[in-house]
């Protein structure tokens, strides 16, 4: 594997020479060159946070999957590390697909899916996938140990292992697609990480006959429940819901080793934007449950490919479970360390059909806006970012709408969610060079989307159309860069 990693590194460094920072994020993990998708192996190990990712270092397009790697002391300031895994062995000849990490006896264990095309490349009708292991003594360089769980009979699509320790045993869930083309997750266990039983339990399965695969499953306790977080493939749009090619969301239930998973709440989307896929969670040093996702979507327009890179992560988000069984996401408090120049926004009453500039250039910013919704009947109010993005309250449909319009990149679409029934609307937005993440009312709703404004079109304005609107207060911080 060493020679293959060296070859990939040479290609990566050559591509990096062409990097244009126009769309390259200031504080989100992204490759300096090549392709990135799913977050893998998120973990706190020996005093350091690790984030691995699906990576093709030879071009800006998806290809034979490697594992890229970055490390951090605080989940915010990240340092790129050497490529961790490269495909090419008999059991992962065509890709080291997604997986997870565990820390044990001072060593870092990576569990991943070895992928093989049985016919031609990209022909998903004939593949072989098995769960594999690689181990590191130093957290940087890894030695492959081969297959630990081969594909069970009657399963061809069998990928994305997530491993954890509970009640004296190690547990692994794996996303799968059965012979009837129905998505599900399989549960395995072992005592020693190396020798896994071939016996498994189907712990959850789709009740939607359109859903043929559950990718990137995660399974973890939150509050007094057990959450299954996953990305179903094949779900059909329903009015405003499920508009992306694939979704990410969760089901809620009760589980303990040796018992069935008692599902109490059906699938709910966890993010309402255009670009949120394959979220993976881990425990922070203090026990918080943190999630990071791929902030892109399959088969979407990716203008950064012109600069020989594609893909970035969301900011880390803390997950909590509300009393009414809703998983909410809020930015980790460590992001506050990026704040620099601060601008306070006093109360503003916008007359009908007016706009007001808040900041000339919002290239790398955190924005807080508090709107008064009481007795408001205005048709439309919110904020514009440049000439291509608007986020607003639609007074007619009573929905929050995130709308993009970048015709040069053939992007023109919107995503929406029901407007919360409240007198105040708190918007917290993280804006980077090619992304926006919006948190409503402390995580009640989130929107994550890639954006592609021109260099001179990043002004932040608030507006009110066909009626007045009142902004009670606001804050804007410029955010420092945090990726090396």
Q: Which residues are catalytic?
A: 38
- Give the C-alpha separation, 40 to 308, whole Å: 22
User: 80: which DSSP letter?
Assistant: E
Report the DSSP beta bridge partners of residue 269. Answer: 249
Those residues whose C-beta lies under 8 Å from the C-beta of residue 480, and which sit 6 or more positions away, are 26, 27, 338, 339, 340, 364
Count CB atoms within 10 A of the CB of residue 385: 23
Sign of CA dihedral 96, 122, 181, 292: positive
Count CB atoms within 10 A of the CB of residue 296: 24
- Give the C-alpha separation, 285 to 289, whole Å: 10
- Give the C-alpha separation, 354 to 19, whole Å: 39
- Give the C-alpha separation, 278 to 249, whole Å: 9
- Give the C-alpha separation, 93 to 89, whole Å: 5
Burial class from Cβ neighbours inside 10 Å (0-12, 13-18, 19+) for residue 4 reads middle
- Give the C-alpha separation, 125 to 135, whole Å: 31
- Give the C-alpha separation, 455 to 22, whole Å: 7
Tokens of 235: 């779900």
CA distances from 274 to 141, 212, 424, 449 (A): 35, 21, 25, 5
Tokens of 60: 């800006």
- Taken as a whole, the chain contains a residue count of 484
């Amino acid at each position: 594997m060493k020679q293959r990693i060296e070859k990939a590194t040479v290609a990566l460094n050559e591509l990096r020479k062409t990097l244009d920072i126009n769309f390259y994020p200031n504080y989100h993990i992204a490759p300096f060159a090549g392709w990135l998708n799913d977050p893998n192996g998120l973990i706190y190990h020996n005093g350091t946070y690790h984030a691995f990712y699906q990576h093709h270092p030879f071009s800006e397009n998806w290809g034979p999957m490697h594992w890229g790697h970055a490390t951090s002391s605080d989940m915010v300031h990240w340092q790129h590390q050497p490529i961790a895994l490269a495909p090419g062995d008999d059991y992962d000849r065509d890709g080291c697909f997604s997986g997870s990490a565990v820390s044990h006896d001072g060593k870092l264990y990576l569990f991943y899916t070895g992928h093989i095309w049985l016919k031609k490349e990209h022909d998903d009708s004939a593949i072989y996938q098995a769960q594999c292991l690689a181990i590191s003594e130093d957290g940087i360089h890894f030695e492959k140990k081969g297959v630990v769980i081969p594909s069970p009979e009657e399963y061809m699509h069998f990928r994305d292992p997530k491993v954890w320790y509970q009640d004296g045993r190690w547990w692994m869930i794996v996303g799968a697609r059965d012979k009837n083309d129905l998505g599900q997750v399989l549960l395995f266990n072992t005592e020693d990480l190396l020798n896994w039983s071939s016996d498994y339990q189907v712990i959850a399965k789709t009740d939607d006959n359109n859903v043929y695969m559950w990718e990137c499953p995660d399974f973890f306790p939150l509050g007094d429940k057990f959450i299954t977080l996953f990305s179903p493939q094949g779900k059909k749009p329903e009015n405003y819901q499920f508009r992306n090619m694939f979704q990410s969301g969760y089901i809620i239930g009760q589980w303990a080793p040796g018992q069935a998973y008692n599902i109490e709440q059906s699938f709910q989307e966890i993010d309402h934007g255009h670009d949120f896929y394959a979220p993976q969670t881990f425990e922070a040093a203090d026990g918080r449950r943190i999630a990071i996702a791929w902030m892109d979507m399959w088969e979407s327009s990716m203008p950064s490919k012109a600069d020989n890179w594609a893909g970035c992560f969301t900011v880390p988000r803390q997950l909590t479970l509300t009393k009414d069984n809703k998983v909410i996401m809020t930015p980790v408090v460590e992001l506050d360390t990026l704040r620099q120049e601060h601008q306070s926004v006093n109360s503003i009453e916008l007359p009908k059909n007016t706009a007001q500039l808040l900041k000339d250039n919002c290239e790398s910013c955190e924005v807080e806006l508090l709107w008064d919704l009481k007795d408001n009947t205005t048709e439309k109010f919110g904020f514009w970012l440049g000439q291509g993005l608007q986020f607003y309250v639609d007074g007619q449909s009573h929905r929050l709408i995130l709308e993009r319009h970048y015709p040069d990149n053939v992007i023109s679409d919107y995503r929406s969610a029901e407007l919360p029934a409240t007198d105040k609307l708190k918007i917290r937005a993280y804006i980077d060079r090619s992304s926006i993440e919006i948190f409503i009312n402390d995580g009640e709703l989130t929107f994550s989307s890639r954006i592609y404004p021109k260099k001179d079109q990043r002004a932040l304005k608030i507006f009110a159309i066909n009626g007045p609107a009142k902004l009670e207060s606001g804050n804007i911080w410029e955010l420092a860069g945090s990726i090396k």
